[in-house]
Amino acid sequence: MLELTGLVKRYGAVVALDGAGLVARPGRILGFLGPNGAGKTTAMRAVFGLVALDAGTIRWQGRQLDPAMRIRFGYMPEQRGLYPKMRVANQIAWLARLRGLSRAAAHRAARATLENLGLGDRAGDRVEALSHGNQQRAQLAASLVHDPVLLVLDEPFSGLDPMGVDTMAEVVRNRAAGGATVLFSSHQLDLVEDLCDDVAIIDRGRVVLAGSLEEVRTRAPHRRLEIAFGDRSVRWAPPGGTLVRERDGSRIYLVPAGSDPIALLAAASAAGKVSGFGFAPPRLSEVFREAVAP
């Protein structure tokens, strides 16, 4: 379990982290969300000692983090890259050795990881000779080769094509299923909703919302009401609702969480023939927009 508590980081007058905290649990995937500049990267870098915090603690399995623990973590920085001239397998094995693996174990692990990611036949090539997509796989192999107990991925999906996204999502799921703690940041909220067990939303250096995906959605002060009438001219709006979107005669409102769906459906039916009705917790993207609203 990874616990960040009360992280504070100032760069001169700029406050990057203002008491941010979160908890990531083993076997679960935590989506770390927030607008640009909210402090996601700074918090992730802090886990790897790349940021000198002004305050706050980082614990792993209840103990203060130290460098010996860190080498068992895997990190994919936002700024990605590998030595362009070095051969793929050698480079991945070298990075594994930096994290404490013996020479032989490192080479075995590099082979196996590359094989796993479909790069087995390119292991002897120089990194610069790989296609963009394959370079990203090699990059992922660099973060995974030592079978990390904690995986921290900074925007892992940015710049990936749909197949790359699938590979990445599968890797993330497998690692979590294998018992690893996974933490990743993303702007692609639908993807996060598909993939994550837990979410933490950070805004201006503070975590404003955190919990399991289910909790976060049900705890929201709104519900998502979707309604369509057979006759498109019917103008009915739920009491206290705000229209979010209208498309193909179907309208989506956010209504107060305490609203009774049965009563709403009855009221709508009284206004006209209802051809479609839905009542559910808001989507993650709606929760997110609300949480970070100015």
Partner 1 sequence: MNGVRNTFLVAQREATERARSRVYLASTALTLVIVAGLIAVMVWTEGGTEHYRVGLAGETPTGLVAAITASATAADSEVTFETFADAGAVTAAVSDKVVQAGVVDGDTLIVRRAGESPLESILAGAVRQVRLLQALAEAGIDPETLAADLEVTITATEPPSSSEDEAVAMAAVVLLFLVITTYGQWVLLGVLDEKSSRVVEQIVSSVSVRALLAGKVIGIGLLGIGQLVLLLAGGLGAGILLDAFTIPSSTLPTAAWSLVWFILGFAFYAVLYAAAASLVSRSEDAQAAAMPVALVSVAAYLGTFGLMASSEPDSMVARLVSLLPPVAPIAYPARIAAGAVPWWELGLGLAVTAAAVVVVVRLAARIYAGALLSQGSRIGLRRAWRAAGELSAR
Which residue, 52 or 270, has its beta carbon nearer to partner 1?
52
Question: Is residue 98 close enough to count as binding partner 1 by CB under 8 A?
Answer: yes
Question: Is residue 40 close enough to count as binding partner 1 by CB under 8 A?
Answer: no
State which of residues 6, 57, 61, 85 lies at the interface with partner 1 (CB under 8 A).
Answer: 85
State which of residues 25, 28, 59, 97 lies at the interface with partner 1 (CB under 8 A).
Answer: 97
Which residue, 143 or 259, has its beta carbon nearer to partner 1?
143
Q: What is the dihedral of CA 140, 143, 146, 150, to 10 degrees?
A: -120
Given the rule CB under 8 A, which of 32-40, 43-51, 162-170, 232-240 is the region that contacts partner 1?
43-51
Question: Is residue 124 close enough to count as binding partner 1 by CB under 8 A?
Answer: no
For residue 273, is it left (φ>0), alpha (ψ between -120 and 50) or beta?
Answer: beta
CB of 212 to partner 1, least distance (A): 28
State which of residues 83, 118, 178, 221 lies at the interface with partner 1 (CB under 8 A).
Answer: 83
Backbone angles phi, psi at 184, to 5 degrees: -140, 150
Which among 263, 255, 251 has a CA at the least distance from the CA of 281?
Answer: 255
Given the rule CB under 8 A, which of 97-105, 162-170, 234-242, 260-268 is the region that contacts partner 1?
97-105
Given the rule CB under 8 A, which of 30-38, 62-70, 208-216, 235-243 is the region that contacts partner 1?
62-70
Which residue, 80 or 175, has its beta carbon nearer to partner 1?
80
Contact 43, 17 (CB under 8 A): yes
Question: Is residue 132 close enough to count as binding partner 1 by CB under 8 A?
Answer: no
Which residue, 105 or 267, has its beta carbon nearer to partner 1?
105
User: Would you tell me how many other CB atoms lie within 10 Å of the CB of residue 86?
Assistant: 14
Sheet architecture: strand order including 14-24: 14-24, 2-11, 55-60, 63-64
What would the two tokens of residue 269 be?
């039916």
Backbone angles phi, psi at 143, to 5 degrees: -85, -20
- The single-letter code of the amino acid at 228 is A
Question: Is residue 173 close enough to count as binding partner 1 by CB under 8 A?
Answer: no
